[in-house]
Structure 1
C-alpha cells in the first residue's frame, strides 16, 4: 500500500553577530562583494584584498602569470576497451614549432614514474598512467593523454592553439576492441562489479521494524553524472630549477597532494618540489584530487626539456579527462508510522565508478555518514556495490 504522507515546508534561520570589534579582523563578518564603503575602510586593508577584484577582472589567475613557456596539449583516445597497437606522432612533429612528443615509452626511458599508487592518493585512487597498452574505458587524463583514464602522449609547442592542433594529428591505432559497459543497468545485467569493494552496513533491526510498519514504500532513485563546470579548467605551469628542483603553479585545492605526486613522477624528494596556488577559478571539489595528473604530466615535460611548460586543458579535454560526480542508483524499501515518522529503511546503492576508482574510493565508506546526516532513523540497512 502506498499512502501520500503530508510534509510541511521546511524552514530555518541562522543569525551572525558582529563579533568583538577589539578582535577584528577576527570574527568580522565579511560580505563576498565587500568594498571600503561597507565599513571596512577603518581597517585600512589593501584594496587588493577585496573580492571586487574578481568582479572587475583585475584578480590574477594562473594564466595571468607572465612566464615564457612551451605549451603542452593532450592526445585523447578515441575508443573504449581496446589495446593500443601503435602510436605515430610523425605528422605532428613536422608542424613548425613542435618540439617533442612524450609517451609512455618516452617517460619510461627517461626514468620517470608514470604511476601513482592508490595509497598515495587516499581520496581518489586515480591511476596516473600514460597510455600504452589496454584502455578500460573511454576518457583521458593530462600530461600524456587518456581518454579512458589512461594518458597516451604529449605534444609541446610554443603556442597553445598549435599544440592542440598538432596533438590532433597524432595517429593512434587500436586492436581488440570490445563493447564497453557504460551504465549501472548494464553492470547489473553483466554482474560487472569490484567484488572486493563496497560495504554492507546495518543499524538496529530492519526486518522486524519493516514487519510492524504502518506504511511500506518501495522504489528507486537515480542520480546521473554531474560535471563540475568550473570556469577555469585544469592547468599547471612547471618551471625547472637547479639541482633537480621544480616550481609548480597549479590550479588545485590540494597543493600537498600535487607536491607528493610530482615528486613521485620525477623520482625526486618532495622538498625539491615547490607548489604555488595563485587562485582557483572554480573547483567544487573537482580540483581536490584530480589535479595531480595535470601537474605530473607538465612537470615531466618541463624536467625532460629543461624549459618552462604550461599545460592548460581546453573545455572539451577537461570534460573528457577530469570526470565529475559519478552516477548512483538506489533501490530502497522504507517503513514508516502513520504520522510520517520513518522507522526503518533498506537501501541497495550502486555507484558507477567506471574502470577504476575516483572520488568515492575505496568502498563508499562515507555513505553511511552522509545518509545518517539527513534523517535520524533507528533501523537501517545499507548494501553498496561499485
Structure 2
C-alpha cells in the first residue's frame, strides 16, 4: 500500500481513473428517476410523524396539555421525552447535552417538544399546533451583542495556538494595526430536506432509511434511544439531495424520532419537516466575530499577529469544538507567521446548535487572516496581492505552521503566478483604476486570493474507512463502502478506483447503497476525505481479489503470480489470454474466494490538542481565484463580472466531477459572503426561515465570465488514490475573492486610502453603507 501509483497500476487500464466518467446517477438525476427516500413506495400501514416546536428562546415548560392533540383527526398517538426507553440524547461525541425531545427546559426558539404520529403528514402537522403550553421565560442570548465575546459562556473547550513572543513582535514592528470582522452564518439549503423512514423488523431489529452523511452516528443515536445493541439497528442511505454538512449530525434527530415511533406503534414511520421548520430546527454554518492585532514591516511582512476567533455555537456543543479548532488551524492560510497567538471562543447562545458546513470552520479562519492582509495593504498603500505574496510560505526560511506542521508540499507561489498570467491580473487592475477614475457611479473592483486547505479529520480516529467488494461469476463487480453519495460523485470515483485495479470497464461495476449492515463503524463523509479514505479502502479490497486471481491463474496456466498481467477486460498468463469473466468463473469453480474486505487508515498524522501540536493534515490542497465585480454606488447593488479559478486537485481522479465541484463550491462560497443572510429577531425567532426571505445565489448571479481550470501539473506526494487530492471543500473558499473584490470597488470612492472593512455577508445594503461611511471619512 506504500507503493506509488505508477508501481501498482495494471497496464493499459481503460475507463478508469484520470478520465471524465459521468456521474453514476447523472441520467437519473436529470430524468427525475433517481430514488430518494420520499420517492420510495410507502409500505402498508405507514404512519407519518411531525415535530411540534417551541415558540420561545429560553425558559422552562410549566405545563403541557396534549389532550386536543391526541383527539385531533387522524392522530394515532404522541411521542414525548418520557416515551423514550433509552437515552434522550442526539449529541455529537456523546456529550449528552442535546435532547432529542425537550423535557423541561427550552434552549432555543424552534426546539422540538414532542412528535405527533398520524395517518397523514398534514394531519400530524396540523395537530402539533393544538397543544396548550405554559412557559416560564428566561433571558436569552441570541446575538453577539448579547454576549461578552471574551468571557461569555462556552459550550466546549477553547483552543490556543501560540508561537514566539507575539506581544513583543507587535510592539517592536515598524507598523501595527487592529480591527475586527463579523462573518455571518449560512443555511445549508439542501434541495432534499431532512427525512427518515423507519421500519420495524423481527424482534428488536429496525431498519432506518436516513438522508445522512454519517450512518454510523445515526445508528449509535437510534440504538441508544431505543436501548438496543447497535447490531439491531441498520441505517441505509442510497443518496441525498445535497447535504453540505447539514446531514452529518443533524439527521440523527429525525431518524431517532422515526425509529422511536416505529418501535412504539409497531408501524413503518416517515418524518419529513416543511422547509420552514427544517430551517428553524437545524443548525447552520457558525457565524464568527474575529478580532486581530498585527505588527508588520515596510514590505507588509507580518512579524507577529494575535487573533481571537469568537463563534456563535447555539445551545449545545454539537461539532463546534472541531469547527473552532479548524478555524484556528486555517488562520495562517498560505502565510508564514514568525510569532502568532490565536484563541477560539465557542460561545453558548439560545439558538439551534450550529454544526458542520462545507469547509468546517476553514473558510472563517481564512477570511479572518485575509482581512489582515487587506488591512496591511491599505496601511502601506500597496496592492493586497503584493502583501499576500510577501507573506507566502516559501518566501522566508521557515515553512512551519502555528501548530508546528511543516508545509512540505507548498505550490502556492507557482499556482498564483500562473493565475496572475492567465487572468491578466496586472493589466486588468490598471484598466479598472482607469475605469473608476472616469465613472462617477459605477465602480469596479478586482481581487486575487489564494487558498491552502488541510486535508484530514483533526479527530485522528476518524481517518479510517472500510469497503466490501464482491466479484460475481459473470465478471460483474459490486462495491460497498462507508462513504455516502450526496451528489458529489463519490460513488463513481470509488468505482473508477476499482475498475483501475481490476482493469475492467467501469460499466461492470456497481456501487451499492451505504449501509451499516455491510461496512460498520464508518466515519462521516465529510472533510473532503470521501474519495481519499473510501477510495483507498476499495483499492485494498480490489488488490486482494486481484492477487487471488493472479495466484489462481498462475497455478492453472503456469508461471508465477508476477507473470500474470491484467489487461483491459482480460488476463494474460504466458501465451494464454482469458477474459476476466471466464477467469472469475473458473476461480469460483476452484473455490477461490471472490469477496474481500478492504481497510485504510491515514498514515503519518497525529494531533495533540492539549499542546496544539502535531501533524493533523496528511497533505494540503491549494488554489487561487481572481474575481472582478462592478457596484452601483447609488444603490449598493453589484454584479460579478468575471471569475478565474486555478485549483489543485492533484492528479484528478475525474476531471469533470472535480470541475463541477469547484464551480458549485465557489458559487456556494460567493452566496455565503454576499446574499445569504441569517436574521434572528430579538425574541430568537429565525426571520429568514424560507426561500422567500433567505437568498441563495440564482443562475443569474453566476459570473458573466467563469473560467475554471485544474493545475494539471500538481501531484499529491502522498499515496492517496493515484496522486489525487480531495476537492469537496477547498473550492468554497474561492468565494472569498468576491468579498475582497467588492471591498476593492468600495475603496475606490475614497481613492483606496481607507480599508472599507466590509463585514460578511456583503449584501447591497452593507455595500451601500460602507460607501457612505468611506465618503464621510474621506471628506
**TM-score of the superposed pair, with normalisation by structure 1:** 0.81
Within 5 A, what are the aligned runs for 1:136-285? 136-140=107-111, 145=112, 152-175=113-136, 177-188=137-148, 191-194=151-154, 197-285=157-245
- Partner residue of 1:329? 289
- Partner residue of 1:94? 71
Of 35, 50, 65, the match for 1:60: 35
Instruction: Decide which structure has the larger Cα Rg and report it.
Output: 2
Would the aligned equivalents of 1:248 and 1:275 in 2 still touch at CA under 8 Å?
yes
The whole-number CA distance in structure 2 between the counterparts of 1:264 and 1:378 is 48
The whole-number CA distance in structure 2 between the counterparts of 1:79 and 1:352 is 19
- Partner residue of 2:734? none
Stretch of structure 1 that moved more, 353-362 or 254-263: 353-362
Report Cα offsets for 1:169-217 as digits up to 9, x if no partner: 2222212x12211112311189432287212221122122212323212
Q: Report which structure shows greater RCO (CA 8 Å, sep ≥6).
A: 1
Would the aligned equivalents of 2:92 and 2:319 in 1 still touch at CA under 8 Å?
no
Following superposition, the deviation at residue 354 of structure 1 comes to: 2.1
Within 5 A, what are the aligned runs for 1:308-327? 308-327=268-287
Following superposition, the deviation at residue 237 of structure 1 comes to: 0.3
Stretch of structure 1 that moved more, 372-381 or 356-365: 356-365
**TM-score of the superposed pair, with normalisation by structure 2:** 0.41
User: Is residue 78 of structure 1 aligned with residue 68 of structure 2?
Assistant: no
In structure 2, the residue corresponding to 1:153 is in which secondary structure?
Answer: strand
Following superposition, the deviation at residue 116 of structure 1 comes to: 4.5
Would the aligned equivalents of 2:97 and 2:317 in 1 still touch at CA under 8 Å?
yes
Would the aligned equivalents of 2:308 and 2:344 in 1 still touch at CA under 8 Å?
yes
The whole-number CA distance in structure 2 between the counterparts of 1:31 and 1:377 is 42
The whole-number CA distance in structure 2 between the counterparts of 1:262 and 1:22 is 47
Would the aligned equivalents of 2:156 and 2:321 in 1 still touch at CA under 8 Å?
no
- Partner residue of 1:135? 106
The whole-number CA distance in structure 2 between the counterparts of 1:373 and 1:191 is 27
Report Cα offsets for 1:124-164 as digits up to 9, x if no partner: x7613421211123232xxxx2xxxxxx1110112112211
- Partner residue of 1:51? 26
Report Cα offsets for 1:248-282 as digits up to 9, x if no partner: 00000001111111111111111111110021111
The whole-number CA distance in structure 2 between the counterparts of 1:50 and 1:240 is 29
The whole-number CA distance in structure 1 between the counterparts of 2:11 and 2:176 is 55
- Partner residue of 1:24? 14
The whole-number CA distance in structure 1 between the counterparts of 2:216 and 2:132 is 36
Would the aligned equivalents of 1:238 and 1:309 in 2 still touch at CA under 8 Å?
yes
Following superposition, the deviation at residue 353 of structure 1 comes to: 1.2
The whole-number CA distance in structure 1 between the counterparts of 2:38 and 2:162 is 49
Following superposition, the deviation at residue 31 of structure 1 comes to: 5.6
Distance 1:346 1:191, change over 3 A: closer
Of 309, 312, 318, the match for 1:349: 309
In structure 2, the residue corresponding to 1:188 is in which secondary structure?
Answer: coil
In structure 2, the residue corresponding to 1:173 is in which secondary structure?
Answer: strand
Distance 1:356 1:76, change over 3 A: same
User: Is residue 106 of structure 1 aligned with residue 80 of structure 2?
Assistant: no
Would the aligned equivalents of 2:53 and 2:109 in 1 still touch at CA under 8 Å?
no
Following superposition, the deviation at residue 372 of structure 1 comes to: 3.0
Q: Unaligned stretches of 5+ in structure 1? A: 1-18, 35-48, 146-151
In structure 1, the residue corresponding to 2:330 is in which secondary structure?
Answer: helix
Following superposition, the deviation at residue 75 of structure 1 comes to: 0.3
The whole-number CA distance in structure 2 between the counterparts of 1:280 and 1:301 is 23
Would the aligned equivalents of 1:209 and 1:343 in 2 still touch at CA under 8 Å?
yes
Would the aligned equivalents of 1:336 and 1:344 in 2 still touch at CA under 8 Å?
yes
Distance 1:266 1:154, change over 3 A: same
Q: Unaligned stretches of 5+ in structure 2? A: 1-8, 347-779
The whole-number CA distance in structure 2 between the counterparts of 1:348 and 1:291 is 31
The whole-number CA distance in structure 1 between the counterparts of 2:114 and 2:255 is 14
Would the aligned equivalents of 1:197 and 1:362 in 2 still touch at CA under 8 Å?
no
Following superposition, the deviation at residue 74 of structure 1 comes to: 0.5
Stretch of structure 1 that moved more, 364-373 or 261-270: 364-373
The whole-number CA distance in structure 2 between the counterparts of 1:275 and 1:219 is 48
In structure 2, the residue corresponding to 1:316 is in which secondary structure?
Answer: helix
Following superposition, the deviation at residue 20 of structure 1 comes to: 8.4
In structure 2, the residue corresponding to 1:229 is in which secondary structure?
Answer: coil
In structure 2, the residue corresponding to 1:71 is in which secondary structure?
Answer: strand
The alignment covers a number of residue pairs equal to 336
The whole-number CA distance in structure 1 between the counterparts of 2:303 and 2:313 is 31
Would the aligned equivalents of 1:263 and 1:273 in 2 still touch at CA under 8 Å?
yes
Structure showing the higher helix proportion among its residues? 2
The whole-number CA distance in structure 2 between the counterparts of 1:254 and 1:129 is 17
Would the aligned equivalents of 1:112 and 1:300 in 2 still touch at CA under 8 Å?
no
Would the aligned equivalents of 1:198 and 1:363 in 2 still touch at CA under 8 Å?
no
